[in-house]
Structure formats: C-alpha cells, structure tokens
Amino acid sequence: MQTLLRGVGDALAHANLAWVAAAFVLNLIGLAVNGERWRSVCAALGCRLRLSRTTLINLAGIFVRNATPATGLGGDASRVLLLRAEGVPLAQATAAFAYVRLAEIPPIAVTVLLAGPAVAAAARRSTATLAIAAGVLVAALIALSVNRHRLSARVADLWSRTAHLRIAPAAAALAVFYAGLAQFDSLARLMLAATACGLPLSLQQSAAVTAVAIAGGFVPTIGSLGAIEGGMVAALVVCGADVKIAVAITIIERLISFGVNAAAGAGALAWLGGRRLLRAAREETWASTS
C-alpha cells in the first residue's frame, strides 16, 4: 500500500499542469453549456432567465447532489426550488427539469456505444485484462439491473410530467444538442487529465471509463463517492494504465468534476439564498400536510 501511495504521489507530482489547467477550463465550459441547456428549455416553456442565473442554479444542484446520498434526486429538487425562486411557476420548473434530464439519454447511449470497441480491444490483450473487463462489465450490469425499474419509472414519470407542457421539437433537439456537448466535454476533460499523467486515451477509451462512472453514479452513497472512483480506476487499468497512474488520473478528474464543482456549487447556493429557500420549502411542505 505504501508503495502504491508513493507511486500515486509521484504521478501527481509529475503531472503536466498545463493539461490539468486545460481540463479545468473545459470543466468551466461544460458548466456554461449545461447552464445554457437549462436556459433554453426554460425559454421554450415561456420563462426568460439569464444564463448566469441558470448556471448558478445548476451549480447549486451539483452541490446538493454531491452532498446527499440521493443519487441526483436532491440536486434535481433543489434546482426546481431555485427556479421557482426566480419566478418560474412550479409546473414549468418541473417540466424544465424533466426535459433537461430526458435530453441526456441520447448522449449517454452514444457514450455506451462508443465504449464498445475499446472494451473489446482491451479484453483481447490478455486474460488478466479480460477478467478485469468482465468484472467491470458485471458491476455495471448489476448497477443497471438493480436500478432498471427505478430508471424506467423515472423516465415515464418525467415524460408524464411534461404532457401538458410540450415544447417545440426544435427546442427539444437543442436541449439534446447541449447535452451532447456537455457529454463530449466530459470525455475530453478525462482525456486531458489522462494526458497530464502521461497516458493518452482515445475517445473510445474515455467513453468506456465514463460509461462505468455513469453506472457508478447510481450507487446511493454521498455523491456516489467510492463507486465512481473505483469504477474509473478499474476501467483505466483495463485501458492499459498502471494502477498508480489510474488512481492519479481519477484523483485529478474527480478533484475537478466533484471537488471544484461542489465547492463552487456551495457558493452558488449561498449566493442564491439557499438556506432561506430550503427553509421556506420545509415550511410550505409542513403547511400542506397539517
């Protein structure tokens, strides 16, 4: 273990800071793209918001998601609440959340399809790699299997919530486009983090690691910590990384996508008056049940 820790520390110490900085900048771009996705969906529903506000609302949701073991539900609920505070009616706020989430399905499907060739190529290299690939695949399938009913129910629920608030096909396509840009941004960010540690990843390999991380995101720990990181390390090893390099890449990527975004999200929630809003929501819920 000490040898591994020293190796990880050495890999981090020798990481190319220029590539790390580029990954950080890409993360900022991704946040703006996601903020624009929320803004465009709200606009299609007749609610005009500034990009700065929707970006802050999304960041606040990231913080709540990363600080609670609700696998995204807490973050989504907080976004709806913050949209309401901006003057968006509850029906439109709920529909906006539904459309934003539904728009993510096609890019995730494309990511999984992109991952196929990389996993197959890695599995052919050795029996050990094949065993790791099989383990990663089994873990991902188990995660999807355990959550399949909840996922299908959630998609059906999201679709039903928008029945009376349909948006134009062009607006829906634009939301999918922004979701695709955000997904590509995540793939590119991981590739930059890997390059910083001396491991060039192909787009397909990055997709394979990202697909495993997405599956790990369904594990109900706080921010899915442990599940995502463990899956990423295993997938990077399958892609040819030494364990210490795989851990170093995962640390860099998660410091940006989890640590930086959660810290910025906490600031965004405070800026938007999060404590006051959450208190008001609790009082509203209590009044409706009494």
* Residue 191 clears pLDDT 50, i.e. is over it: yes
Residue that has been written with the tokens 């399938």 in this structure: 141
pLDDT band at 165 (very low <50, low <70, confident <90, very high): confident
Number of other residues whose CB lies within 10 A of the CB of residue 78: 25
Distance between CA 56 and CA 70 in Å, rounded? 20
Q: How many domains does the chain have?
A: 1
The domain of 147 spans 2-289
Tokens of 253: 């990527």
Asked if 209 contacts 190 with a C-beta cutoff of 8 angstroms, the reply is yes
CA atoms within 13 A on the CB side of 61: 23
Query: Of 86, 91, 87, 38, nearest to 62 (Cα)?
Result: 38
pLDDT in tens, 45-87: 999 999 999 999 999 999 888 887 655 556 788 898 899 988 9
pLDDT tens-digit readout, 31-40: 999 999 999 9
CA atoms of 75 and 190, how far apart (whole Å): 23
Nearest to residue 103, comparing CAs of 43, 40, 48, 172?
Answer: 172
pLDDT for res 223: 56
Provide the CB-side half-sphere exposure for 70 (13 A, CA): 15
φ and ψ of 124, to 5 deg: -80, -15
Percent of the chain beyond pLDDT 90? 43
Q: Does residue 234 surpass a pLDDT of 80?
A: yes
Per this entry, what is the length of the chain?
A: 290
Q: What is the pLDDT of residue 285?
A: 41
100, 45 contact by CB (below 8 A):
no
Tell me the range of 112-121, 122-131, 217-226 where mean pLDDT is highest. 112-121
